[in-house]
Chain A
């Protein structure tokens, strides 16, 4: 009986997240279009609202090409790794008090583990495609992801020190419910490092060199077509949502808000996640791309020392005040 409720919850969560992913692509195109003083998709449905469905149907029916010299099992397996790891990390995110699928004591570490595994999908896709530029894209993406995992983790150590636990629900509870007690304010440096590392982990502009459309012909996903391509994109958007959720939980106070919404406790959580997604899209419309060596220099020479400084200052603060 309990298994049945868990399965039902998983199904509802999956359906909601996949719908969000589809409409995240739609809103990204619309918002970037309006920021560039043009309209986005307008033709399919009223103001283009059915565009994601049309895209989904198109991906379904496209021919599935596997290159002849490609490593077939790895080629077929790579998008699955990306998607599965990203979907698994949804299981530990609390959307409201008690609204979490698996309330484990190492929630934050679990999300790290899953995001470091997602990069496997990238590098295997690059390798298995057996093509020069794809492979380069995969290598670059992998190097970028493992370089930025460190500042990501270290920026959250400050939050762990302030809240005293890795359990995501405990982190939100220890932030209290007022505006000024969010961990954003004591951890401003940590938030900045987290935000930049988050952009790099999810391969978004300004760090999207691996999938740069103008340079590597869409990088490690060049040889993929149809549904597998759609799987990679789903994995990227789910990664964006998971990272936004972690940012909301750790720095912005999770599901707490000014007033209680009666029937829908995750209201403020979802609003904050939407705010993060808007930030992602806004930055994509504004900034140019970092060159590869600038990217690596930024990760190792700027963000890592900043994150360590943040840990040091937080530790100092905790010792002196308590």
Chain B
């Protein structure tokens, strides 16, 4: 490992304090360059896909109710145990959700509940400005969560069948995803586009390359 030391100052540089003057030239240059501050209330930060904001239960476009089947996967996977679901079963073992609550103040916003839901019932919207002065309004129950979805959909301009394409677990083949999560098949579909996620596609290409290239 080669260590690069700065050359020692000679006498002239010490007398004229060249390093201090170089530092001052830098600050002067930066004085005239544009500032990078974002003026928050007027300019909002850009939202990228997959932003984990306020929770919402997706409203099914056909039945106008939530899609949740009370499989309890989100409640089980939540690391901070903030999702509480209670359900009852009828004679044909179909489950009905009695109450679905999310304690938003406990949530660490990891997004596991969204990734693990098989039917795409819960999602995380891009809303982050919902701070309040009392705690009660952060304890979301089912109606509030559906309302969150309505509010988000009203402001975003998507249509009723919108599924956020970001929330799909990576590295899983498309065929094993539930129907609600699979993307619409475009006309120029090829087998290489089967897998989800960039890393899976690059590793897939790597595999095909090494097997085609033979031994090195």
Contacts and interface: CB of A to CB of B under 8 A. Distances in A.
B27 A35 contact: yes
Contact of B23 (A37, A39, A287): A287
A42 B39 contact: yes
Interface string A34-48: 111111001000000
Given A33-B35, A35-B27, A282-B27, 15 more contacts: A34-B30, A34-B35, A35-B30, A37-B33, A37-B35, A38-B36, A38-B37, A39-B35, A42-B39, A282-B28, A286-B20, A286-B26, A286-B27, A287-B20, A287-B23
B37 A34 contact: no
Interface of A: 31, 33-39, 42, 282-283, 285-287
B31 A31 contact: yes
Chain A CB count within 10 A is highest, among B30, B31, B37, for B31
B24 interface: yes
Contact of B24 (A36, A38, A283): A283
Nearest to B34: A37
Contacts of A39: 35, 37, 39
Given A34-B30, A36-B30, A286 B35 contact: no
Given A33-B35, A37-B35, A39-B37, A282 B24 contact: yes
A226 B101 CA distance: 47
Interface residues on B, range: 10 to 19
21 contacts: A31-B31, A33-B35, A34-B35, A35-B27, A35-B31, A36-B30, A37-B30, A37-B33, A38-B35, A38-B36, A38-B37, A39-B37, A42-B39, A282-B24, A282-B27, A283-B24, A285-B27, A286-B20, A286-B23, A286-B24, A287-B23
A42 B37 CA distance: 11
B14 to A, nearest CB: 11
A176 to B, nearest CB: 28
A167 B83 CA distance: 81
Is chain B's binding surface mostly helix, strand, loop or mixed?
Answer: helix
Contacts of B33: 37
Interface of B: 20, 23-24, 26-28, 30-31, 33, 35-37, 39
Is chain A's binding surface mostly helix, strand, loop or mixed?
Answer: helix
Contacts of B27: 35, 282, 285-286
A37 B37 CA distance: 8
A302 to B, nearest CB: 11
Chain B CB count within 10 A is highest, among A31, A282, A285, for A285
A164 B168 CA distance: 86
A38 B40 CA distance: 13
A285 B30 CA distance: 11
B169 to A, nearest CB: 40
Nearest to A34: B31
Nearest to A279: B24
B19 to A, nearest CB: 10
A287 B20 CA distance: 8
B24 A37 contact: no
A287 B31 CA distance: 15
* Top 4 closest pairs, chain A to chain B, by CB: A35-B27, A39-B37, A39-B35, A286-B27
A179 B2 CA distance: 52
Contacts of B37: 38-39
Contacts of B24: 282-283, 286
B2 to A, nearest CB: 28
A33 B26 CA distance: 14
A190 to B, nearest CB: 15
Contacts of A34: 30-31, 35
Nearest to A38: B37
Chain B CB count within 10 A is highest, among A35, A42, A282, for A35
Contacts of B39: 39, 42
B24 to A, nearest CB: 5
A233 B35 CA distance: 28
Contacts of B23: 286-287
Nearest to B33: A37
A287 B33 CA distance: 20
A42 B39 CA distance: 9
A309 B37 CA distance: 48
Nearest to B23: A286
B32 to A, nearest CB: 8
Contacts of A35: 27-28, 30-31
A16 B35 CA distance: 31
A285 B31 CA distance: 10
A33 B33 CA distance: 12
A35 B30 CA distance: 5
